[in-house]
A and B are shown apart, each in its own frame.
Chain A
Amino acid sequence: MVDVVAETPRVKTVAFDVASWAGHRPGQHVDVRLTAEDGYQAQRSYSIASAPDGTRIELTVERLEDGEVSPYLTDELRPGDRIELRGPIGGYFVWEPSQDGPVLLVGGGSGVVPLMAMIRARAAAASRTDTRLLFSSRSWEDVIYRDELERLSGHGLRVVHTLTRSQPPAWTGYARRLDEEMLAEVGPSPAERPRIYVCGPTPFVEAAATALVQLGHEPHRVKTERFGSTGG
């Protein structure tokens, strides 16, 4: 581990230098395996948050109170510590700047992490592909990558927030759970045949994927990555 940055009160980004890293594609994940002194092992998957960048990779981890792995990654790990990582893994939930658009990214909470890797890779490639991120968070304080998303907006990237539990004073954006109407307003329309990536807790992904298909998007263009409701 090389450094750690707090993103929100419950979420941190942990960066690793992996000497043998052969590069990754935006949307891929790694499996992190921890082994206790008595041999007990716990393994979890974490999406890679960073764009491909040599041997450095960043994982953004939400601390789950009763988790077996996430509290270790966010609170215990110190620069110089070594952990067991396997990856990069997966090829299905991947978008690369060489692919055409338009692209619709739908993230719930820390489900934004693999989507951020896509957005960062898009920016690094100076791509102008029509890309929209609909990002659902509990409150303004819980919005992961808030400042960076604002900075990267424009040049074809539009970021739309919905804040489901509490909103800052004078908030004019969405203030409800994601629904069909919201997805239709953010677009692109089914006629534009966007590539769609949805990531978040299982109930969130289920609701979003169902609504997108209801709107007329082809099911095979809606790629999903579910967290489940436990984990960590």
Chain B
Amino acid sequence: MDELMLDGNAVAGLLQEVFAVETTTANGTCNACGATNPVGALHVFRGAGVVMRCPDCDEVIVTIVRDDTRVWIGFAGVRMLQVTVEVPPPGPTRS
């Protein structure tokens, strides 16, 4: 076991900077083994950047590197990402 391992939750703030939606509840399907897990349940390893791995098969799912002005996000192992979107409440529409 790696004592520095974290959960997807740990990079929620970083992802929130880039994406407009809350990402830890999004479900990602691993391209290697086909397992589907919430982003919050992925295993996270921090070094110079962040590596997110599949909790089932340990393959790399997402890599994130950032500097002061840019973020590089690699989706090397994502087959599918399922994101819940907010449905606007029913009611009169503005025109």
A pairs with B? yes
The answer to whether A31 touches B40, judged by C-beta atoms less than 8 angstroms apart, is no
A199-225: which residues lie under 8 A (CB-CB) from chain B? 201-203, 206, 220, 223-225
Chain B residues near A201: list those with CB within 8 A: 3
Chain B CB count within 10 A is highest, among A87, A91, A202, A203, for A91
B1-46: which residues lie under 8 A (CB-CB) from chain A? 1-10, 12-13, 16, 22, 24-25, 37-41, 46
Measured CB to CB, the nearest residue on chain B to A203 is B3
The answer to whether A226 touches B5, judged by C-beta atoms less than 8 angstroms apart, is yes
Give min CB distance, B7 to chain A, whole Å.
5
Majority secondary structure of chain A interface residues (helix, strand, loop or mixed): mixed
The answer to whether A92 touches B9, judged by C-beta atoms less than 8 angstroms apart, is yes
The answer to whether A31 touches B13, judged by C-beta atoms less than 8 angstroms apart, is yes
State how many residues of chain B have any CB contact under 8 Å with chain A.
Answer: 22
The answer to whether B6 touches A226, judged by C-beta atoms less than 8 angstroms apart, is yes
Give min CB distance, B5 to chain A, whole Å.
5
Chain B residues near A202: list those with CB within 8 A: 1-6
Chain A residues near B24: list those with CB within 8 A: 90-93
A108-144: which residues lie under 8 A (CB-CB) from chain B? none
The answer to whether B41 touches A228, judged by C-beta atoms less than 8 angstroms apart, is no
With known contacts A91-B25, A92-B24, A224-B41, A29–B3 Cβ distance under 8 A = no
Give min CB distance, B48 to chain A, whole Å.
16
A143 to B1, CA, bound (A): 27
A36-75: which residues lie under 8 A (CB-CB) from chain B? 45
A31 to B12, CA, bound (A): 10
Measured CB to CB, the nearest residue on chain A to B46 is A228
The answer to whether B39 touches A92, judged by C-beta atoms less than 8 angstroms apart, is yes
A203 to B2, CA, bound (A): 8
Measured CB to CB, the nearest residue on chain B to A90 is B12
The answer to whether A90 touches B40, judged by C-beta atoms less than 8 angstroms apart, is yes
Give min CB distance, A121 to chain B, whole Å.
18
A155 at the interface (CB under 8 A from B): no
A229 at the interface (CB under 8 A from B): yes
With known contacts A92-B24, A93-B40, A87–B5 Cβ distance under 8 A = no
A230 at the interface (CB under 8 A from B): yes
A129 to B37, CA, bound (A): 27
The answer to whether A90 touches B22, judged by C-beta atoms less than 8 angstroms apart, is yes
Chain B residues near A206: list those with CB within 8 A: 1, 5
Task: A31-B13, A225-B7, A226-B5 are known; give 20 further A-B pairs, CB within 8 A.
Answer: A29-B13, A86-B16, A89-B13, A89-B16, A91-B12, A91-B22, A92-B25, A92-B38, A202-B2, A202-B3, A202-B6, A203-B1, A203-B3, A206-B1, A224-B7, A224-B41, A225-B9, A226-B6, A228-B3, A228-B5
